[in-house]
């Protein structure tokens, strides 16, 4: 008998082996495809990041670097920078000079608008009288012994004059009828320049308001030394647009037609024996024209003045610069 023949593998086993090999190849191809996709995604992301960095970082930094180099190492940039600094300094100087000039004009043109003088009234039994020093000249030596030698009124300035009275609201004052406030403005020699006679009448207050005001005053701090009794503040208009101190008046009395006049004293008389806590004369300057604009609209007037003053300064500086440039260009 011959040798035994080798056994042939069964067909299902061979097919299973081939299927396994095919599936292994397919798996490897899919993994390679996944790796290639990941690499492509990485490359796309890297290229996008590099593009964004180039657009938003590298290119601006390169421009800034080039600008810095051109600014600090270029003669043209040096000239432009120096000229700009000169123009800026000239502009700031012009603004400073304009502010100084505005302050000087304001101080020269705007007088002290609100002036007050306390009136110390003296009772005569049937009335109250008071004599107040207002303004005087260097010849009034007895006056200067009592008041400092400071000019009170501005020369040739019109004023509105008001008498302010603080009167307690008590039964005695409320029972008074109308009474008069007589005010005379006089010179040192006693010549009456202006006189005014105005009526006064206290307005009675309801008792509830009076007691409420008394309660509020009791709750105030004691350091103010205010009286507990309620009071009324009465403003009596006396004069309108008078000139207490004039240099060359056109309607003054004959003795003052050449040298002018000054209201030195004010005589105040209340024709009733009323109770008065305090009294004072108020002088409010009546402004007009440019002083009125500068006082009542300071921001607007400052802006206009700075613009005009700066325009004049820049025109003068530009003319000088142009003349200097033409002079040196003709010489070269």
pLDDT band at 150 (very low <50, low <70, confident <90, very high): low
Q: Are 239 and 189 in contact (CB under 8 A)?
A: no
Could you give the CA distance from residue 268 to residue 193 in angstroms, rounded to a whole number? 14
Q: Examine the pLDDT at 44 and tell me if it is beyond 70.
A: yes
Could you give the CA distance from residue 214 to residue 231 in angstroms, rounded to a whole number? 10
Please tell me the predicted confidence (pLDDT) of residue 78.
73
Q: Examine the pLDDT at 257 and tell me if it is beyond 70.
A: no
pTM (2 d.p.): 0.62
pLDDT band at 239 (very low <50, low <70, confident <90, very high): very high
For range 309-318, the mean pLDDT: 81
- Taking CB atoms within 8 Å and a gap of at least 24, the contacts of 183-186 are 183/238, 183/266, 183/267, 183/268, 183/269, 183/281, 184/266, 184/267, 185/134, 185/239, 185/242, 185/244, 185/263, 185/265, 185/266, 186/263, 186/264, 186/265, 186/266, 186/267
pLDDT band at 228 (very low <50, low <70, confident <90, very high): low
Could you give the CA distance from residue 217 to residue 227 in angstroms, rounded to a whole number? 8
DSSP letter, residue 300: H
More confident residue, 243 or 141: 243
Q: Examine the pLDDT at 242 and tell me if it is beyond 80.
A: yes
Instruction: Give the mean pLDDT of the chain.
Output: 78
pLDDT band at 141 (very low <50, low <70, confident <90, very high): very low
Using the structure block, give the residue that is written with the tokens 């002018």.
260
Q: Examine the pLDDT at 8 and tell me if it is beyond 70.
A: no
Please tell me the predicted confidence (pLDDT) of residue 33.
65
Degrees to nearest 5, angle at CA 17 with 12 and 18: 100
Written as six digits, the tokens of 241 are 């647009």
More confident residue, 304 or 41: 304
Q: What is the dihedral of CA 240, 241, 245, 251, to 10 degrees?
A: -100
Most confident of 104-113, 133-142, 254-263: 104-113
Q: Examine the pLDDT at 329 and tell me if it is beyond 80.
A: no
Written as six digits, the tokens of 24 are 């292994």
Write b or e for each residue in 289-328: b if 16 or more Cβ atoms lie within 10 A of its Cβ, otherwise e.
eebeebbeeeeebbeebbeebbeebeeebeeeeeeeeeee
Alpha-helix runs per DSSP H in 110-206: 141-144, 171-174
Please state the φ and ψ torsions of residue 180, each to the nearest 5 degrees: -105, 150
Please tell me the predicted confidence (pLDDT) of residue 143.
45
Please tell me the predicted confidence (pLDDT) of residue 25.
64
For range 157-165, the mean pLDDT: 93
Written as six digits, the tokens of 328 are 């040196």
Closest CA to 265 of 193, 198, 188: 188
Q: What is the DSSP string of 14-76?
A: HHHHHHHHHHHHHHHHHHHHHHHHHHHHHHHHHHHHHHHHIIIIIHHHHHHHHHHHHHHH-HH
Could you give the CA distance from residue 228 to residue 218 in angstroms, rounded to a whole number? 6
Alpha-helix runs per DSSP H in the chain: 11-53, 59-73, 75-109, 141-144, 171-174, 207-219, 290-296, 298-331
More confident residue, 302 or 148: 302
Q: Are 168 and 174 in contact (CB under 8 A)?
A: no
Could you give the CA distance from residue 174 to residue 150 in angstroms, rounded to a whole number? 40
**How many residues are recorded in the chain?**
332
Could you give the CA distance from residue 182 to residue 271 in angstroms, rounded to a whole number? 8
Please tell me the predicted confidence (pLDDT) of residue 237.
93
262-293 residue pLDDT tens: 888 999 999 888 888 889 999 999 998 888 88
More confident residue, 20 or 140: 20
């Amino acid at each position: 008998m011959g040798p035994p023949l080798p056994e042939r593998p069964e067909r299902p086993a061979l097919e299973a082996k081939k299927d396994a090999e095919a599936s292994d190849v397919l798996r490897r191809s899919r993994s390679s495809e996944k790796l290639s996709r990941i690499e492509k995604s990485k490359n796309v992301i890297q290229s996008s990041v590099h593009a964004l960095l180039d657009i938003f970082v590298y290119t601006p930094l390169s421009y800034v670097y080039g600008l810095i180099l051109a600014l600090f190492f270029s003669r043209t940039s040096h000239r432009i920078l120096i000229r700009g600094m000169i123009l800026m300094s000239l502009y700031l100087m012009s603004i400073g000079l304009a502010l100084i000039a505005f302050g000087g004009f304001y101080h020269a043109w705007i007088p002290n608008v609100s002036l007050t003088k306390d009136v110390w009234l003296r009772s005569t039994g049937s009335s109250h009288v008071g004599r107040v020093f207002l303004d005087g000249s260097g010849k009034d030596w007895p006056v200067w012994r009592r008041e400092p030698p400071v000019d009170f009124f501005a020369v040739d300035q019109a004023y509105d004059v008001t008498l302010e009275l603080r009167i307690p609201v008590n039964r005695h004052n409320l029972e008074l009828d109308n009474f008069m406030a007589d005010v005379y403005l006089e010179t040192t020699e006693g010549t009456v320049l202006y006189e005014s006679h105005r009526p006064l009448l206290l307005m009675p207050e309801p008792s509830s308001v009076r007691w409420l005001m008394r309660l509020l005053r009791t709750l105030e701090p004691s350091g103010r030394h205010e009286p507990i009794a309620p009071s009324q503040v009465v403003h009596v208009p006396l004069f309108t647009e008078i000139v207490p101190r004039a240099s060359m008046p056109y309607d003054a009395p004959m003795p003052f037609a050449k040298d002018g006049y000054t209201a030195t004293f004010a005589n105040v008389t209340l024709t009733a024996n009323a109770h008065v806590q305090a009294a004072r004369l108020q002088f409010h300057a009546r402004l007009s024209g440019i002083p009125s604009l500068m006082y009542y609209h300071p921001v607007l007037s400052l802006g206009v003045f700075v613009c005009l003053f700066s325009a004049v300064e820049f025109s003068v500086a530009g003319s000088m610069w142009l003349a200097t440039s033409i002079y040196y260009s003709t010489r070269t």
